[in-house]
Structure 1
């Protein structure tokens, strides 16, 4: 369980970088960053697939189809839904709604596996949800209220946000099942398959992004000038936050119940908030500080609850073994 916890923490930390890099690429858009990062992630996944080439030869078509579906749910489709939600409803409401993903995923995971009694997990869930709400509510300040989208646009953004929540919840559940059906599959190989298929899907979506005018690259006045930040962030995001993050999450998925790993996603909010404050060189607001502290308590409480459950089951198992031997 310890390795699973470390892997989940590593995955959520790497994913928290996704909230930081868009503000570091200058005039380039989130879509431009995604294209560049998936290009590097695809190259990295190809290298991993080459290393595992002997095992790749024995993969079935169903394995690749499953990887493509999961890659679309958890990465490409999720990305475009979030982008659509922000474009339609503005930059405030969608991130607040997406803060519910760790809680929804934890509830869905425990409903399916019943890995821990609800009375033991309900407290950490409520505390974590409160912390996430407080952190996200901090975005509702005077600066974010300068432009209010039309009601129909906001409703469309809300629908896209709900679909995004469904996509990531479905990804978490289906990915756990897919790995359970492939007990001998290396987490690194599985992650490389997912990200490689994501890179292929991103290639297919480039025309869609250009049609929706999501790219700022074509109209950038400097052409290739000023792309250093975009390339550096793309390399780190592609190889670190995307490929390495997927690998760490595959390890966590195999070693932890989804009810716990789902809640650990919430820790990404702590990392992203902390790094954002450091980059902006400011102290947290009272709401941000309170929300981050409450969220930290909820995550630690959740880990303690699952550790306690694991210890209890291990103790019962030893008692049963002793009684049978007697």
Structure 2
């Protein structure tokens, strides 16, 4: 189990980069960033799996194609678009509040899975985790000095953030269950197939968007806005390699080795690393509530891991 925990921690370290790249590419739309990231992910996955491409496709069954399609949409493209739209329309604070419920949502949704620890034993760790999430979001609300947005935009943004939460929670559970039912695919193989399917879908979306919005995407107005396409592809390629290829592979390893209820808690490492990278990028120290949130989140995850370790020791071989 502890190998799975370490892999989950490292996956969170990779995924935390996702929150810095939009700051670097603020001149680009969420659609462009999503399509760029997953096209790069698909290209890297294709190169990595090229020597085994014929063998892998020969082993794919009908159910695998459907699984890859739904995982690429729910776990990557649709999730990222919902999240980006939520931030744009409702702001960072409401969106982060909703997405911050993810670990608890995954734990609750996976409570009936094999190996899941009874919720009564996780009540206190979940409460500590919820307190940490609350501290983060209270701090964000207190320091958000943004102009007032319309009620309609805020409602739509909240709905988009809720959609992102549901997409990622469902993907986390469905992916973990599918991997455990299909051990004949290694974590690296499934991650490569997942990346290739995401890249193909992103390519289709890019072609449609280019045909409809060609003037807005690549015209003189885009050049005048200072959009640096070289930086765009460098950032998205690094993000695709680190967060998608390496991060997803590590997460697949973790998904096979830890119970569903614990995997929900391990997702919190993404939040912690995102905070760390944000502090480094902005060159500032965390505020008191942010420090409290970090301490509570670490305490909640550690407590949850301890409960799972005890349960594993007591379980019959």
* TM value normalised by structure 1: 0.88
1:61 and 1:48, CA in 2 relative to 1: closer, same or farther beyond 3 A? farther
Confirm or deny: 8 A CA contact 1:52 1:189 kept in the other structure.
Answer: no
CA distance in 1 between counterparts of 2:299 and 2:293 reads 10
Structure 1 match to 2:183: 183
Alignment deviations for residues 219-276 of structure 1 (CA, whole Å, 9 cap, x no partner): 3335897334323211210111012111111111111111101111012111111111
Equivalence for 1:125: 126
Q: Give the structure 2 partner of residue 239 of structure 1.
A: 241
| Whole-angstrom CA distance in 1 between matches of 2:254 and 2:59 | 25
Give 3-state SS (helix, strand or coil) of 2:59's partner. Answer: coil
Query: In the comparison of the two structures, how many residue pairs are matched?
Result: 313
Residue in 2 that maps onto 1:266: 268
**Does residue 249 of structure 2 align to residue 255 of structure 1?**
no
Contact persistence 2:27–2:225 (CA under 8 A):
no
- Cα distance change, pair 276–93 in 1 and its aligned pair in 2 (3 A): same
The question of 1:289 aligning with 2:273 is answered no
Q: How does 1:1-326 map to 2 (within 5 A)?
A: 1-25=1-25, 27-53=27-53, 54-113=55-114, 115-142=116-143, 144-206=144-206, 207-208=208-209, 218=219, 219-221=221-223, 226-313=228-315, 316-317=316-317
Q: TM-score, normalised by structure 2?
A: 0.90
Q: Which moved more, 1:234-243 or 1:89-98?
A: 89-98
19-28 vs 274-283, which deviates more? Answer: 19-28
Structure 1 contact 132–269 (Cα < 8 Å) conserved: no
Alpha carbons 2:210, 2:217 under 8 Å: kept:
no
User: Which whole-Å CA distance do the structure 2 matches of 1:217 and 1:267 have between them?
Assistant: 37
Q: Which has the larger radius of gyration?
A: 1
Instruction: Mark the runs of 5 or more structure 2 residues left unpaired by the alignment.
Output: none
Matched residues in 2 for 1:78 and 1:212: separation? 22
